[in-house]
A and B are shown apart, each in its own frame.
Chain A
Amino acid sequence: MTEPQPAVSMEDITITFPGVKALDAVSFRMFPGEVHSLMGENGAGKSTLIKALTGVYRIDSGVITLGGEQVSFSGTADAQEAGISTVYQEVNLLTNLTVAENIMLGREPRRFGAIDWRATRKRAVELLERLHLDIDPNSRLGSHSLAVQQLIAIARATDFNARVLILDEPTSSLDADEVQELFRIIRELKADGVAILFVSHFLDQVYEISDRLTVLRNGALVGEYLTDEILRIELVQKMIGKELTVLDALERKTKAQTVDEDELVPYIRALGLSRKGSIEPIDLEVYEGEVVGLAGLLGSGRTELARILSGVDRADAGTLTVAGSSARFRTPRQAIHERVVYSSENRRSEGILDELTVRDNIALALQADRGWFRPIPKKRQNELAESYIQALNIRPANPDALLKHLSGGNQQKVLLARWLAIAPRLLILDEPTRGIDVGAKAEIQKLVSNLAENGMSVVYISAELEEVLRLSHRIAVMRDRRMVADIDNDDLITDDLLAIIADGAETEVVA
């Protein structure tokens, strides 16, 4: 049987950024009238692939064909012209214009050189009707919910006689009903023969809507599968892969217990902690000297939970008890004062101050906690910086170096030093080893393990399950914004964890 001609096919696409191969000979194809999910963890190359397809990035080698013809786009406008439309995660429309103006923006019908508003509105109404959307074309876009704005963005995208529609995380800010409405429209477009590329971190949705999957990992193609023919656990395994053990020397931890568990008081205890649109009610306890690993896919709620525990985001409901007394962190500042600190996964946007020196970066949190009027003496600052430079092996070993001149791994160590300098009782590390070299990774893992031995409580978040398994005494698994398991890490193996991440508590291994 001969296969139909693909709507899009990308063959052996390679894209190199300075020092990194973002895509390594990746092939990808989509057929008309199918929903195709692009799967992979952070840094897998999903968005690079999309940007290669839409002409944002230039490809170093490889061939892109659209409907059998070889194409090369110079930008998104070019790609749209050819029938490839993209709707991004963040709706990039103009909220102060009307729905009709937004749909037709940039390609309004003209009469005598001026915009024909009547025709513009008529065309917009047609497009909305085609998708069975009952939206007033004259209403302001900003007056609609994000979900409706997303649908309008899709209506806009489909007017480019789209043959290929790319939906990048379209459901991340939608609730269940809104997702169903979106899916209805996706199905209609599919019936019209549009090829739809769907990117989402929600496995349930991927399984519900897509016909076919392509999995990427670390810039390389893992494989293409029919959704019906791949089990969730297989899929997750393919997405995450199995990393070679970097740190064989570091022994697997067993629960550090000297006293009867009943007598232990958790250092931090969350009961029913939740935030609308972020996480469902969650219970979590972390004891002194314990490392709790938070596992789950990206978007599962692991970062959201960490941000709420540390006051970065406020909880809507639930209670938090820190060291036996109730706490309500409204700002990170309050949490830091109680020695609960959060090291963000976004090193660049939420961590480093690139124009400041290593010394200033290390001293910042401690200084902020002391208040500006009580400066840390220069001498003490230098001692602080030098001791951490030595302890964490920060290179270059110069407290006066500007942070922007350090490598990612060393920047991460400086951030760790910033948090350690305030002597935290609970240290929440969100992807502390992402994007850094193997050596620095091992050093950071070792450090975490030592800190816990000395009584610090640690919450450790990582997409790398091997790492979580190696470091944690206990593992809490998040899935679709809920905590689906909270289990002791006695003799868990990666496969057990994969099963829970993929299927949730139903198949939970015996704790």
Chain B
Amino acid sequence: MALQELNFSFKPEKNFTSFAPEWFHSGVVGSGDMEVLMEHKKQDGKVTVKVVTPVTGFDQVWEKVLAKFVAETKIGNLHMEINDNNATPFIVHMRLKQALFEAKGDVES
């Protein structure tokens, strides 16, 4: 029952915004929660994601949650690494949005 690693790659929306900070970290790997490390990465706008999680059997749900995040935020040139500990799909979605929001604020302030 080793940890499993999932990798995803998403094409950006047409009018995407590049992830600006060099890197940004948010969240705590508590039970039912996760952390995300967002890194700027020049890759033709693509968003790549590595998920490390103890939960098996939800690969498709991960893909859908992440695709939704990319579509809604129109973010691009981003590499994310997620350490998950049983976060629900909504928590994942909320944490990613919160992280992106904080990352932007970090740059502006």
> Is B one of A's binding partners?
no
Q: Interface of B with A (CB < 8 Å)?
A: none
**A residues bordering B, Cβ < 8 Å?**
none
